[in-house]
Amino acid sequence: MDSIRIRGGKPLNGKIEISGAKNAALPLMVACLLTDETVTLSNLPHVADISTLINLLCQHGVQAHLNGQSNGNGNCNGRAISLTATSITSTEAPYDIVRKMRAGALVLGPLLAREGKAKVSLPGGCAIGTRPMNLHLDGLEAMGAKIDIDGGYMVAEAPNGLKGAEIRFETVSVGATEDLLMAACLAEGTTVLENAAKEPEITDLVRLLTAMGAKIEGEGTDRLVIEGQPTLQGADYKVMPDRIETGTYAIAAAIAGGRIELTNTDASLISSVLEILTAAGVSVEETEDGLIVSRDPASPIKGVDVMTQPYPGYPTDMQAQIMALMTVSKGASMITETIFENRFMHVPELTRLGANINVHGHSALVRGADQLVGAQVMATDLRASVSLVLAGLAASGETVINRVYHLDRGYERLEEKLAACGADILRIQGE
Ligand code: EPZ
């Protein structure tokens, strides 16, 4: 397994091009199951989760064609993929693929809507929490599906097709909103989704589905009204910029000091993160295609309290990164996680670097340390891993992050992007 070695203490200066959003691209790719025509997506990030989903879609009978686009420096600045599901050859999503990536379970609604049946492995829990599927299942049942759990699989049938229904989510769920939104596009009649997630990735999906001929009202709100259509058509669509990658590199500039320009992105996608960074004493300037984040290495970071919330609140996917920043603040910070029950696995690893963090239930009290000191640490999930990279940029001496395959699931060429700004960072190939 590869590891990443960082020699910290170097300010970062330069430009980073933000990739397309993994968490938008995954549902957009799944949407190809709703039509027998071709869906082409550009600005596709080159990360492991995308490859895993391509494998899953191909075994449902989808034909996938990838086109790389190089900018001449060996950097792949966005790829395009064409996905054609002329016919669905298998409605089964096997455990071996879905266990690697929860987003694989999103095929449930679209397969059921198009084929009237689906057998999809339960994704199971993962490091950050139990992550049940009840909202997906209850919603599809309300639309007329009959679903059993058998041998670890969700076995669903709707022989007469799905019917429109009024569904109110008891918890805001990104995945359940996406799953039911896609299913509703091919259901008979009108579906209303109340208390729907409003994350920008949902808006991206609404826009692709609309380009495919779906009739959806309420884009960007928590009430989506979908008038089902008998068929959808193909479309060409550009994946939105990755707001979590944007926020992560903004925090890289903040923690290491220096000035980084982030391009091919949109500052308004991470307003809640930028508010916190500004309160912490970091400079943020919006530009036409992104933002510039800077901090004089001599000026201190202030402690700020943070609570994760559904969009437009502070994202849970940026919680580990802000905690890394707060470990070197002058002051204290209370970080509260409200979305997932177990998303503090980075705490013991940050502590190995000298961070002073006390967890009390869903909150972590972080007292700024004078200096983090490099050590060997272990990545446990995607965002926890990147928080260790960020801490390593600030730590003195050498930090080695082991098990970086988690990082490769969601960050494209992370070490290259940071090294181009002056970070002393190197990937060490494992056996
Ligand atoms: C998406 O996961 C993202 N993944 C996650 O990003 C992100 O952390 C999460 O949304 C919250 O923003 C993708 O988009 C691929 P949820 P998802 O359903 O859809 C509970 C990353 O690091 N819930 O919004 O699986 C659930 O347990 C990843 O890139 C139910 O109770 O998250 C959680 O507490 C990690 N029943 C809350 O809702 C359900 O049926 C929000 O989860 C579904 C969810």
What parts of the chain have a pLDDT lower than 70?
68-78, 124-126
If one residue of 108, 149, 171 were mutated to test the ligand 1 pocket, choosing by the most ligand atoms within 8 A of its CB, it would be 171
Residues contacting residue 36 through CB under 8 Å, at least 6 positions apart: 84, 85, 86, 87, 231
- Ligand 1 proximity of 312 Cβ (cutoff 6 Å): no
- Predicted pLDDT at 230: 98
Note the pTM of the prediction, 2 decimals: 0.96
135, 176 in Cβ contact below 8 A? Answer: yes
9 CB within 6 A, ligand 1: no
Nearest to 401 by CA among 6, 10, 8: 6
Phi-psi domain of 130 (left: phi exceeds 0; alpha: psi -120 through 50; beta: other): alpha
Phi, psi (5° rounding) for residue 223? -130, 110
Residue 270 CA to ligand 1 centre (angstroms) = 18
CA atoms within 13 A on the CB side of 169: 27
Ligand 1 lined by 314 (C-beta under 6 Å): no
Q: Whose CA is nearest to atom 21 of ligand 1?
A: 317
Closest C-alpha to ligand 1, atom 35: 317
Are the C-beta atoms of residues 337 and 319 closer than 8 Å to each other? yes
> Is the minimum distance from the CB of 340 to ligand 1 under 6 angstroms?
yes
User: What pLDDT score was predicted for residue 78?
Assistant: 55
* Angstrom distance (rounded) from CA 375 to CA 386: 15
From the CA of 56, how far away is ligand 1's center (Å)?
Answer: 20
Per-residue pLDDT at 76: 42
Q: Other C-beta atoms within 10 Å of 360: how many?
A: 9
Q: Annotated catalytic, 32?
A: no
With residues binned 3-state (H G I as helix, E B as strand, rest as coil), the percentages for the chain, rounded to 5, are 35, 30, 35
Q: Is 15 in the pocket of ligand 1 (CB under 6 A)?
A: no
Whole-number Å distance between alpha carbons of 412 and 166:
39
Q: Which atom of ligand 1 is nearest to the CA of 129?
A: 27
pLDDT at position 1: 85
Q: What is the model's pLDDT at position 125?
A: 60
How many residues are recorded in the chain? 431
Q: Which of 24, 340, 21 is nearest to 178 (CA)?
A: 24
Looking at residue 128, its pLDDT comes to 76
Q: Is 384 in the pocket of ligand 1 (CB under 6 A)?
A: no
Residue pair 38/234 in contact (Cβ under 8 Å)? The answer is yes
Question: What is the β-pairing status of strands 153-157 and 306-307?
Answer: unpaired
Q: Which of 58, 76, 126, 421 is catalytic?
A: 126
